[in-house]
Amino acid sequence: MSIHMPLNEHRAIEDFQLSAHDDHLEPGDIILDLENVSLAFGGVKAINDISFNIKKGEVRAIIGPNGAGKTSMLNVINGFYHPQQGTITYRGEKRTAMQSTEAAKQGISRTFQNIALFKGMSTLDNIMTGRITLQNKNLFLQALWHGPAAKEDIEHRLVVEKIIDFLEIQHIRKTPVGRLPYGLQKRVELGRALAAEPALLLLDEPMAGMNLEEKEDMSRFILDVNSQFGTTIALIEHDMGVVMDISDRVVVLDYGRKIGDGSPEEVSNNQAVIDAYLGVSHD
Amino acid sequence: MPASGMGAGAKPVTFPQYLLLNAKRLAGRPAMRFKDLGIWQTWTWAEQRDEIASLAIGLRELGLKEGEGVAIVGTNRPRLYWAFAAAQSLKAIPVPVYADAVAEELAFVLDNAGVRFAVVEDQEQVDKLISMTEKVPSLEVIIYDHARGLRDYDHDNLLDFTVVQDGGRAKIASDPAVLKDWEADIVASDGSEISAILYTSGTTGQSKGVMLRASASVKAAEDTAGFDNLTDRDVVLAYLPLAWVGDHYLNYAQAYVSGLCMSCPESTETVAENLREVGPTFYFAPPRVFEGLLTSVMIRMEDAGPFKKRLFKHYLGVAKKYGEQILEGKSVPLMGRISYFLGDKLIYGPLRNVLGFTNIRVAYTAGEAIGPDLFSFFRSLGVNLKQLYGQTEAFLYVTCQKDGDVRADTVGPAAPDVEIRLSENGEVQFKSPGMFTGYYNAPEKSAETLTEDGFVKTGDAGVFDQNGHLKIIDRAKDVGKLTDGSLFAPKYIENKLKFFPDVKEVVAFGDGRDNVCVFLNIDLTAVGNWAERNNISYASYQELAGLPRVYEMMREHVNSVNRDLAEEPMMAGAQVKRFLVLHKELDADDGEVTRTQKVRRGFVGERYAPLIEALYDGSTEKYVETEVTFEDGRKGKITATVKIGDAETYPAAGVKEAAE
């Protein structure tokens, strides 16, 4: 069965919005607020009494040396780790202990430091999996691809095709992702995260291991996602040039503590940050 | 021709007139296809007319006037093709520019043509134009097709394509007479206006704007569409650069006069896949595309199992023996016919299918000389590949080959209604129906190119063979002599070397010198695959190019070319003495090749002068520093120690006989 689309409806990308998790927040309102959060694994304090917030519509970077607690922070935000202390408020609601699937349903999606795609599946199928939390028709009908389930599937496919178009990966639509180069796999992973139409997108080192050109492409996509869909983005990144260029605000962690928070300029002029991370000597 | 080109059953004389005609006679036939969101979308001729009408009226509302240039920058997308027809319908002049041109090149063309309006594909092109605002003071309105990333741009003089079309539609809805007037204006044209300015690729210097008249362009396209019997049942894949005369002619112009369907690929990376899906009946590709296809086929066969390899080799032999004769309908022994039939079922048919060539009726190649073996390879598989010789100044066709009278070493007799002659120094000159009216803004250059009696000088050296077929030897100014007086035609030697799948580009030197030396570029795909199969590791192009085993391979290629050259009395003196493998690929961003991938010989010679010196002074290696330009325009440096190899030369065949 072919998917029927009305003829000549060149669907302009500008009409394309990812708004399944639309909320009533205005850009600039606080979407996620962490207060005095601490997380320990036995004696190791991965996160120690950290407070910061993420505002709707911004690109928020989390930086810090290896082992500073950045990924733990992301895992706390998407509900994979549960902090022993502190409160997390997401879209005005205080969060209790919950599963990461619930976080996904509430519009938080993410990518991983070491790509977590289904290697044997095509790009298209991988991105389709991002729609799972938005599919709500009967599983039995879905399996038969019949009636309302088929209609729903076509709608999801349309969104996925728009994401493929947006990320310019048409040429690998049917390629198993295991055969793709690293930079493209990262892009597919971003596509899958976008497919969930997130209100808050978490990116764990989206540019790790990329060459300059791939980094520039990825930066462009991140900025485009942010400006076109208004998606709030929190990202971890080691490339200082990239962080300073694309983020609105930066929080700096070191040994589980927050040592700096502010605009890229403020942070790069902060002596504690320079000592811990940027590695410039004292005057 | 009466003033109303379409009155009283007369033939249309402009492309918009053909648009109106096709929208009537072929209303429901497909005019344009575009793969969008993974599905082929179709516009019929009637729908295409409506799209173009709303765009044209929208543009006129914005102030586009008769005689003005409209820059069109981007890859092959329906909306950009519509911009051509929309501009032409208002007697404005489309000025297409290569999508991969860097900002300076783009600015040069736009400024030279003095355009106020630009229709561009996406953010990349918008960024380039915005960065060049100061250099193009005339530019007022930028219209973009793909809005991604442009949301937060200042939209004062930046417009979405749909906004312009909506403006046109609103105008039509408010006053139906607008549409009638638009059509009446189109019909009233006598075809004397300029229908496009195409900028030459600039092989020999700064590019020049070639002005083409509407009626001449239409006449040329009608001639060749008739020559190859193109109809509305034909399909092409429009994947060639919009700004190149080949695309504008073969796709746009021939589509309008014959009513065939143009298909635009989903993206530049999906062309091969889309070719398979569309299955065009008319296909054009420059020789390097066929080279690339042959290379990829051979590489994949290298990885096949032994049985498949033997089968492939056997039937390739059969095809070589009988294929071309069968294609041309000549007599072939019954056993040959049976073998070829089996080969067609087992190998050629599936191979054509994989390449997207199953439905091809006519395929052309041009732009550069094609290796005879390469040419025969595709013909022997049953692809009706022919050569044409053309120029932007001719609106493409100067010569083309007739079905059944095709040869690899000539470009065929004069195309319909074209006159060709050779000047005293062997330069090809022609007069054709589609001939240009002059270079835009450069009357002195037009005067240089045109002879007093109205022929165009091509700058190519050629000869006619006994059948009246034209044979192009080289650029007239590139043909030279060695110090011992032997003829040196660099392109001839380069093409022989380039037929080896692992050689990508060659530059030969020798004019005014004692012997011939060459620069080689290896083909990264082919040599990379070879390295992989032989467990040779390499980190970069540079490292791979410098490997001793790669040099050994190249030496064998050069030796075998020398053996070939020794067989030809004219060329035997110009055998290659020494060679080197360049440490970087020749790149258009560095100005080493044109955007159409033609080597800029003079520039390469200057840039690598130390290497040429080393070739001739007998050194075995040379340290060089080379400045490179990255895609975003920033510059960097690469350094390398390039080794130099010696080749064997052979006594000329004639000489040997004389000695015996």
Helices (H) and strands (E) in chain A, counts: 10, 10
Question: With an 8 Å Cβ cutoff, are A8 and B273 in contact?
Answer: no
Nearest residue to B344 (alpha-carbon basis) of B356, B361, B358: B358
According to CATH, the topology of domain A27-107+198-283 is Rossmann fold (3.40.50)
Residue A1: count of CB within 10 angstroms of its CB: 6
Are B267 and A162 in contact (CB < 8 Å)? no
Question: CB of B329 within 8 Å of any CB in chain A?
Answer: no
> Percentage of chain A with pLDDT > 70?
91
Query: Two tokens at B490?
Result: 């660099």
Among B128, B156, B143, B159, smallest CA distance to B71 is for B143
Return the axis-axis angle of helices B524-533 and B548-567, rounded to nearest 10°. 120
Q: What does the domain layout of chain A look like in residue ranges? A: 27-107+198-283, 117-180
Q: How far does the CA of residue B43 sit from the closest CA of chain A (Å)?
A: 6
CA distance B168 to B561: 61
pLDDT digits (tens, 9 = 90+) for B387-423: 999 888 888 889 999 888 888 878 899 988 899 998 8
CB contact under 8 A, B146 and A13: yes
Summary mean pLDDT of chain B: 89
The parts of chain B modelled with pLDDT lower than 50 are 1-8, 656-660
B636: β partners: B628
- Which among A7, A162, A166 has the least Cβ separation from residue B41? A7
Determine contact: A228 vs chain B, CB below 8 A.
yes
Which residue in this structure is represented by tokens 């589980």? A256
Phi first, then psi, for residue B79 (nearest 5°) are -65, -35
Asked if B269 has any chain A CB less than 8 Å from its own CB, the reply is yes
Range A8-25 average pLDDT: 60
Facing residue for A10 by CB, picked from B41, B149, B160: B41
Q: Name the residue with higher pLDDT: B68 or A282.
A: B68
Least confident of A12-16, A71-75, A270-274, B112-116: A12-16
Measured between CA atoms, the residue of chain B closest to residue A220 is B149
Mutual angle of helices B306-318 and B334-343, in 10-degree steps: 140
**Higher pLDDT residue, A1 or B97?**
B97
Which B-chain residues 145-184 have CB contacts (< 8 A) with chain A? Answer: 146-149, 151-152, 160, 162
Is the CB of A224 less than 8 angstroms away from the CB of B39?
A: no
Chain B residue with Cα closest to A225: B149
Chain B nearest CA to A161, separation (Å)? 5
B605 min Cα distance to partner chain A (Å):
30
Which of B37, B127, B270 has the most A C-beta neighbours within 10 Å, making it the best mutation to test the interface with A? B37
pLDDT value for B62 = 95
Neighbours of B140 (CB within 10 A): 13
**Among the partner residues A10, A168, A227, nearest to B267 by beta-carbon distance:** A168
Quick check: A14 and B38 CB within 8 A? no
| DSSP assignment of B160-208 | EHHHHHHHHHHHHHH-THHHHHHHHHHHH--S-SEEEEEE---TTSS--
CB of B425 closer than 8 Å to CB of B451: no
pLDDT (average), residues A225-250: 90
pLDDT of res. B218:
95
Residue type, B570: M
Q: Could B266 and A170 be called an inter-chain contact, meaning their C-beta atoms sit closer than 8 Å?
A: yes
Q: Which residue has the tokens 């500073």?
A: A68
Which residues in B lie closer than 8 A to residue A166 (C-beta atoms)?
148
Contact A164 B38 (CB under 8 A): yes
CB of A248 within 8 Å of any CB in chain B?
Answer: no
Longest C-alpha distance within chain B, in Å?
91
Q: Give the mean pLDDT of chain A.
A: 85
As to burial, measured by CB atoms within 10 angstroms (0-12 exposed, 13-18 middle, 19+ buried), residue B177 is exposed
Min Cα separation B272/chain A (Å):
10
DSSP state of B259: -
Question: How far is the C-alpha of A215 from the C-alpha of A183, rounded, in Å?
Answer: 9
Residue A30 has a CB neighbour count (10 Å cut-off) of 14
Touching check for A155 and chain B: CB below 8 Å? no
What domains can be seen in chain B, in order of their start residue?
A: 7-284 (3.40.50.12780), 480-659 (3.30.300.30)
Q: pLDDT tens across A172-219, in order? A: 999 999 999 988 999 999 999 999 999 999 999 998 888 888 899 999
Residue B267 at interface with chain A, using a CB cutoff of 8 Å: yes
How many angstroms away from the CA of A176 is the closest CA of chain B?
16
* A8/B269 CB distance under 8 A: no
What are the chain B neighbours of A168 within 8 Å (beta carbons)? 267
The DSSP result for B483-544, as a single string, is TT--EE-HHHHHHHHHTSTTEEEEEEE-TTSSSEEEEEEE-HHHHHHHHHHTT---SSHHHH
| DSSP 8-state assignment for residue B407 | -
Cβ distance A220 to B149 less than 8 Å, yes or no, reads yes
| Chain B hits for A7, Cβ within 8 Å | 41-42
- A50 min Cα distance to partner chain B (Å): 34
B39 to chain A, any CB pair closer than 8 A? The answer is yes
Asked if A24 is an interface residue toward chain B (Cβ–Cβ < 8 A), one would say no
Q: Which residues in chain A are closer than 8 Å to B267, comparing Cβ atoms?
A: 168, 170-171
* Closest residue in chain A to residue B268, using alpha carbons only: A171
Q: Give the pLDDT score at A180.
A: 93
Angle at Cα B136 formed by Cα B133 and Cα B137, nearest 5°?
A: 85
Q: Closest Cα to residue A73, out of B232, A65, A81, B146?
A: A81
In chain B, which residue's Cα lies nearest the Cα of A223? B149
- A213/B148 Cβ within 8 A: no
Residues of A in contact with B632 (CB under 8 A): 216
Listed by number, the residues of chain B in 612-641 with a beta carbon closer than 8 Å to a beta carbon of chain A are: 631-632
Q: How far apart, in whole angstroms, are the C-alpha atoms of residue B591 and residue B593?
A: 6
For residue B14, the one-letter residue type is T
Judge whether B564 is closer than 8 Å to chain A, CB to CB: no
The answer to whether the CB of B56 falls within 8 A of the CB of B226 is no
Residue B267 is nearest to which of A5, A170, A213, comparing CB atoms?
A: A170
For residue B506, count CB atoms less than 10 angstroms from its CB and return exposed for 0-12, middle for 13-18, buried for 19 or more.
buried
Residue of B nearest to A167 (CA): B148
Give the DSSP H/E element, type plus range, for residue B126.
helix B123-131
* Chain A residues in contact with B34 (beta carbon < 8 A): 10
B36 contacts on A by Cβ (under 8 Å): 10-11, 165
User: A269 near A57, Cβ under 8 Å?
Assistant: no
The set of residues, in sequence order, having a beta carbon less than 8 Å from that of B631 and lying 6+ positions away, is A213, B589
**Residue B269 with chain A: CB contacts under 8 Å:** 170-171
Tokens encoding A131:
């729609």
Name every chain B residue with its beta carbon within 8 A of the beta carbon of A3: 39
In chain B, whose CA is at the least distance from the CA of A230?
Answer: B151
pLDDT tier for residue A10 given thresholds of 50, 70 and 90: very low
**Phi and psi torsions of B45, nearest 5°:** -60, -40
Q: Which of A2, A7, A8, A16 to mutate to test the interface with B (most CBs of B within 10 A)?
A: A8
- Interface A:B, Cβ pairs < 8 A: 62
> Kind and range of the H or E element at B158?
strand B158-160
Residues of B in contact with A171 (CB under 8 A): 266-267, 269-270, 273
Considering only the beta carbons, identify the residue of B37, B42, B273 that sits closest to A7: B42
Structure tokens at A281: 């000597």
Query: Which residue from B370, B300, B304, B355 is spatially nearest to B525, judged by alpha carbons?
Result: B300
Query: Could you give phi then psi for residue B151, rounded to 5 degrees?
Result: -55, -45
**CB contact (8 A) between residue B38 and residue A220:** no
Q: Does B631 contact A213 at a Cβ distance shorter than 8 Å?
A: yes
Distance (Å) from the alpha carbon of A127 to chain B's nearest alpha carbon? 14
